Structure 1
Amino acid sequence: MSTRKMPQSIKTATELGPIVIFFAAYYLYDLYVATGAIMATTLGSLIVSYAYEKRIPAMPLVTAVVVTIFGGLTLYLNDDTFIKMKPTIIYALFAAALAAGLLLGKSFVKTLFGNFWDLSDTGWHQLTVRLTLFFLSLAVVNEIVWRNFSTDFWVNVKVFGFTGITFVFFMAQVPLLTKHSTKSEDSPEE
């Protein structure tokens, strides 16, 4: 089977499908059914990604490992604490990895998104710092919400709040992406 480019509709489904299924299963059944559903759909998303691209991207792989471990603990111990901690762990891991890259003088964001954006080194550095702080902030917010509010509220923040704020965050990066784009530098003047 040869490597194929994943159609955008399937890529979107693999990225958003697990969280949509989690939300639906939670409101139709309960948090434990939703936990099993997100575990299964996350692993399914990895299989689909691999079938198309013959590789598994790092971020979805890390997410799948954490979902499997913490989801498994939630189901095995019948304790929802673990699935509620999962976003904190994932966001903290992403922030730590990005911060480690900065300390080593590398931009893991460039590695992940270099095919989509052509930025100067300064642009990659600034975007990496912003993403590090963003992921760290999401980890803190998740901790505050799951420890102080109802499970219903936490699920809504997880599904709608984090998804919405991530969209707003990336939209807010457009000026940085535009300012530090190197595409215009590389293209010949007419």
Structure 2
Amino acid sequence: MTAKKEINPFMKQVLELGPPIAFFFIYLRLRDDSFLIGGTEYSGFIVATLLFVPLMLAAMGVLWYLTGKLSRIQVFTAIMVIFFGGLTAWFNDERFFKMKTTLVYGFFAIMLGIGLLQRKSYLAYILDEMLPMRHEGWMILTRRLCGCFAFLAVANEFVWRTMSTDLWVKIETFGFPIALMVFLMLQFSLLQSYMDDPDHQ
């Protein structure tokens, strides 16, 4: 089994956030262009999507090399990006890549919901070592995060179906991640009373 290795936090952020930000700037550069590839004309959005996939895989490869591991969430997200990026190129239809975000958030909401029905917190299985918290706190956080993911899935459907591609790319790259980050920071602040105190074990 590969040992987990430490990595500079800044480098970790670059590897995780770099590919989506790169996609954003590549899209801005190519959005008004079209490309003839193999006799088929592709929009700038689709070409940006095809460039994003290897960028993301390269970043994940470097992250795995430096840390010795990848989270299940990272692996699942990579599979979804590859699958829907492939569908986008194969059918020459940008809607597949836009739907990917809905399905990723929806999958997370469903998995957390299944755990709640079993009176379990799957979040605790993943994050308990990093964030010691009593069972009650994990259940509260799981319920709230399940609702958050469900909301983001519905929001993505609304955005890509009713708004321009330009606006969707901006919200996908910055809006949804920032909203999720703020939500999590707020929850951890509100759930301080459920945190385990290592000095009182």
Partner of 2:16: 15
Post-superposition shift, 1:188? Answer: 4.7
Partner of 2:57: 43
Partner of 1:187: 199
Partner of 1:94: 108
Q: Secondary structure at the match of 2:150?
A: helix
Distance 1:15 1:147, change over 3 A: same
Asked if residue 130 in structure 1 is aligned to residue 131 in structure 2, the reply is: no
Does the 8 Å CA contact 2:4/2:69 hold for their aligned counterparts?
A: no
Bigger drift between 160-169 and 83-92 goes to 160-169
Does the 8 Å CA contact 1:19/1:38 hold for their aligned counterparts?
A: yes
1:1-190 paired onto structure 2 within 5 Å: 3-29=4-30, 30-183=44-197, 186-188=198-200
Partner of 2:41: none
**One-letter amino acid of the counterpart of residue 180, structure 2:** T
Percent of aligned positions with the same letter in both sequences?
35
Q: 2:132, 2:159 → 1: CA distance? A: 37
What is the aligned length?
187
Note the alpha carbon deviations across 1:81-108, whole angstroms, 9 max, x for none: 1011010010001111111122233322
Bigger drift between 174-183 and 136-145 goes to 174-183
Q: 2:190, 2:56 → 1: CA distance? A: 32
Q: Which runs of 5+ in 2 are unaligned?
A: 31-43
Does the 8 Å CA contact 1:21/1:37 hold for their aligned counterparts?
A: no
Note the alpha carbon deviations across 1:114-140, whole angstroms, 9 max, x for none: 232111100001111111111110000
Q: Please, what TM-score do these two structures have when normalized by structure 2?
A: 0.86
Q: 1:79, 1:14 → 2: CA distance? A: 28
Post-superposition shift, 1:15? Answer: 1.7
Runs (4+) of structure 1 exceeding 6 A deviation are none
Does the 8 Å CA contact 1:123/1:176 hold for their aligned counterparts?
A: no
Does the 8 Å CA contact 2:102/2:154 hold for their aligned counterparts?
A: yes
Distance 1:24 1:117, change over 3 A: same
Bigger drift between 115-124 and 131-140 goes to 115-124
Q: 1:105, 1:115 → 2: CA distance? A: 20
Q: Secondary structure at the match of 2:133?
A: coil
Post-superposition shift, 1:59? Answer: 0.6
Does the 8 Å CA contact 1:25/1:34 hold for their aligned counterparts?
A: yes
**One-letter amino acid of the counterpart of residue 97, structure 2:** I
Q: Please, what TM-score do these two structures have when normalized by structure 1?
A: 0.91
Note the alpha carbon deviations across 1:51-96, whole angstroms, 9 max, x for none: 1333221111110000000011111211001011010010001111
